[in-house]
Amino acid sequence: MSPASDPSTPPESLNYLAIEGAIGAGTTTLARLLSDHWASGLVLEEFEENPFLERFYDDQDRWAFQTQLAFLASRFRQQKALSERDLFQNLTVSDYVFDKDRIFARQTLAGDELQLYESLFRLMEPTVPTPDLVVYLRSSPDRLMENIAKRDRPYERDMDPDYIARLHAAYNQYFRQYDRTPLLVVNAAEMDFVERPEDFQALARHIAAPRPDGTRHVQHPAS
C-alpha cells in the first residue's frame, strides 16, 4: 500500500481539512477521530459558548439575529487565528467551514437583519483561510434527528423536525453548487464511522486519496 492510499498517513499536500454537515451529521465526531488518527491539529466550533443559543431554540424569531451574529464573530475569530499561525506546517482538521454561517443565516434571518448580516459576512470572508479539501457528510433528516436525540443536549431535546428538514435541504442545495475547493460528498446515512472501524478506515482512505478538482462522491466507504 502506498502512503497516498494508506489511511494511517495523511497526504503531505493536505494541510487544512474541513468537515461539514447539518446538525447531527457527525462532523465533530469525525473531526475528532481524524485528528486523533493522524495526530493533527483540531479546530472545533465553540457553539456551547454562544450565550443566545438556548434562547434561540426556545424562540427562533426573537433570538435568531443575536445568535447568528455571535456565531459569526466566534467563527471569524477562530478562522483568523488559523490564518495567523503556522497552519501550513502540519495538518489541521476543522469541524466546519466559514461558509456554513451563511447557510444558517439564510434559514433564520430576513429583511434588514439578513442584509446587515450579509454585509458583515462579505467583509470577513476574503480574509479567512481556504481548506484544501471539504468533506460534506450528507445524511437524511431522520438520521439527523436520531443522532440529535442520541447525544441528548438539553437545549436540543425539543428540536423542530421541520427546521432540521429545511436545514438538510439548504445544505444539499449549497453543496450541489459548491466549487470553491475540492469536495468529497459522503453518504453518511449509509455508514457508521464510530461503531464500525472498517467504515472509518475506508473513509480515511478516501479522504487521503489524491484530490482532483471538482466533486467526488462516496456512497459507502468501501466503494
Q: Which domains does the chain possess?
A: 3-218 (3.40.50.300)
- Distance separating alpha carbons of residues 42 and 45, to the nearest angstrom: 10
How many angstroms separate the Cα of 2 from the Cα of each of 5, 35, 51, 208? 5, 21, 47, 11
24: left (phi over 0), alpha (psi -120 to 50) or beta: left
DSSP state of 5: G
The model's pLDDT over 144-188, given as tens digits with 9 standing for 90+, comes to 999 999 999 888 989 999 999 999 999 999 999 999 999 999 999
Give the bridge partners for 20, in sequence order.
136
Nearest to 20 by CA among 59, 91, 67, 75: 75
DSSP character at residue 184: E
Using one digit for the tens of pLDDT, what is the confidence trace for 103-129? 999 999 999 999 999 999 999 999 999
Which has the closest alpha carbon to 135: 58, 222, 21, 59? 21
pLDDT band for position 5 (cuts 50, 70, 90) = very low
The tens digit of pLDDT for each residue in 52-90 reads 999 999 999 999 999 999 999 999 999 988 877 655 557
Does residue 4 surpass a pLDDT of 50? no
